[in-house]
A and B are shown apart, each in its own frame.
Chain A
């Protein structure tokens, strides 16, 4: 179980082209197929990650807990953060020795639209589960609009809309 957990997150780690959002879709599918973590649990864990300081993908430790307890948190955290970091450390050293090459630029430029596509599918995957009905859809549109319009602090938007939406969803169950 722990080995399978480690393997899953190691793979996600080295495939996270363009950051954590890029692997959200894959993570949701694999955790459901391999460990029975349903979409509702995944979305709530994702919500807790959004509230946390620092990189939001620290939520992998909480996913680990739900799969294998405290040791699961350690395994998932190490498996998700160590491989990509070691890779980056090695490549960073090589790069600082050989200097900038046109191929690094080519790889970065090539990966950019890929990570946009992957992030899009991450939004789609989370949205499919998180948007249940009129209230939650309205929340998502409102937060999109508020953040696109200007300098609204994303944390305040999420906290404010989260509280408002949670209250409405609680009071008006049919409209969720």
Chain B
């Protein structure tokens, strides 16, 4: 079932592990997907840009982190389910070790006021970062009435109604998919 990359033989599991471990360790400050694109289409001859875009589209449709989903899809196409497991594990391993390591240091010495305030500063700056990422994603599209209405409705229900996430999704997902059903105008924004 897993098809080969456009050129060459199927890479070995060890090679997949090393490649994704590098992305997991080197991609600081978000933007993991951009690193993956360079890795999978330029550094390694594993996928064409079109194939990568197709995997990204599926990753964005499915729940879960886009970067993890891309690792799963790429690993599966290169070496089947084991390849998917290896790719996703390698991608997450450096971050998990970092978080657990730093976290344990911090939890064992919570009296350190400097560390506490550094993290408060980081969280505050990250709020701005997160806001800009969200704004960038929505830029230009919020002018479309359907788009803006769904985004605002989702935001309001989630933030202020006290409904849980599953309840919010049960309300907004059918509406949103119906508004975007095949054959409707407005589905021309394919990337």
Contacts and interface: CB of A to CB of B under 8 A. Distances in A.
Interface residues of B, number: 103
Contact of A108 (B61, B64, B151): B61
B92 A54 contact: yes
Nearest to A23: B165
B179 to A, nearest CB: 7
A65 B126 contact: no
Interface in B51-82: 54-55, 57-69, 72-73, 76-77, 81
B88 interface: yes
Contacts of A5: none
B76 A120 contact: no
Q: Is the interface on chain A under 10, 10 to 19, 20 to 34, or 35 or more residues?
A: 35 or more
B103 A114 contact: no
Interface in A112-138: 112-114, 116-127, 129-132, 135-137
Interface of B: 1, 3, 23-32, 54-55, 57-69, 72-73, 76-77, 81, 84, 88, 91-92, 94-96, 98-100, 102-104, 106-107, 113-114, 116-138, 141, 146-148, 150-156, 158-159, 164-166, 169, 172-173, 176-183, 186-187, 189-190
Given A109-B189, A127-B127, 17 more contacts: A25-B158, A81-B88, A87-B62, A89-B76, A111-B177, A112-B60, A112-B147, A114-B176, A116-B151, A119-B137, A123-B131, A126-B130, A132-B120, A147-B129, A162-B122, A165-B120, A166-B114
Interface of A: 11-21, 23, 25-26, 29, 43-59, 61-62, 65-66, 73, 77, 81, 84-85, 87-89, 91-93, 95-96, 100, 102-114, 116-127, 129-132, 135-137, 139-145, 147-148, 153-159, 161-170, 176
